[in-house]
Structure 1
Amino acid sequence: MDLTGYSNDFTVDAAFPDAMRRFVARARQRWTQLLLSGEPTAGEADWRLPEPDDDYSGIVTFSSGLEMEDFWEENGYALDDSGQGPYAVFYRRRTGPLHATAISGIRTDDPDIEQAVEGTGLLMAEYYTVSLLTPEDPATDPFSAAVVRDFVASFGATT
């Protein structure tokens, strides 16, 4: 299968494992026969990220069921006839320092937070680099936009 799809890249804090649990719960609401990395999840009440390997990286794939898994093998990250498609989260835990000199483009419902954070520096010691691969560009595709909204909302934020 060729790698296709649209990469939505994030740097997120150490809350990532808990946010992923909430993201999976949202996916279960979308698809009752949800498959994660090709495996059924219906019986799992409290899904967790797999135990990390040596480099603390991983991939979690999402599909609506076996039919979409077959579609995926044939078409990659693409929209099917229903206007939906498989998506995935590629992640890696980082433990080295991250320093950004100025934060900009703050999106929050709280203007006080925006005023307090806009233009400040960022220092993080533990974080994750994440790529949410959607079938299409969320700026033009409603399904992909909904997936990105669910991911961001899993951290308690809005897009």
Structure 2
Amino acid sequence: MDLTGHPTDFVVGASFPEGMRRFVRLGRQRWPGMFLSHHAQPLHAATVSGVRASSPEGEAAVEGTGLLLSEYYAVSIVAPEDPDTDPFSRSVVDDFLASFVGPTAAPV
């Protein structure tokens, strides 16, 4: 079976296992697919952009900085439609984000 839909991709650090437990505990299990891969090698990005934090100061402290993770997970939440236009798909992505950082204030 080939999964189809609109992917929303994330890179998640070492908090992934606990965040996933919270995501599943939400009892929603409404997503049609989720793909992940664990990468035990470092990840580096020259510039971080599009930062969302719990405060404007937190966003300003990280926006434009470099990124270095010792290991990470690449996660793709596959929802039926584009989360920017479909409320159900948005709720799936919001559930995932809330499992790691709390409720979202704006679309990804």
**TM score, norm. by length of structure 1:** 0.61
How many equivalent pairs are there? 104
Residue type matched to 1:10 in 2? F
**Correspondence for 1:118 among 63, 85, 107:** 63
What is the CA distance between 1:109 and its match in structure 2?
2.5
Q: Distance in 1 between matches of 2:99 and 2:91?
A: 12
Rg (Cα) greater in structure = 1
1:92-143: CA deviation from partner (whole Å, max 9, x where unpaired): 1111111100111111221111111010000011110001111111011100
Partner residue, 1:148? 93
Return the alpha-carbon distance in structure 2 between the equivalents of residues 18 and 87 of structure 1: 21
Matched, 1:16 2:16: yes
Identity %: 55
Matched, 1:104 2:49: yes
Q: Which structure is richer in relative contact order (CA contacts within 8 A, separation 6 or more)?
A: 2
For structure 1, the residue ranges without an aligned partner over 5 or more in a row are 31-61, 64-85
Structural RMSD (CA): 1.4
Q: CA deviation at 1:3?
A: 2.5
Report the counterpart of residue 83 of structure 2 in structure 1.
138
The 4+ residue runs of structure 1 with deviation greater than 6 A are none
SS in 2 for 1:7: strand
Equivalent residue letter for 2:93: V
Q: Please, what TM-score do these two structures have when normalized by structure 2?
A: 0.88
Q: Could you list the runs of 5+ residues in structure 2 that have no partner in the other structure?
A: none
Corresponding residue SS for 1:154: helix
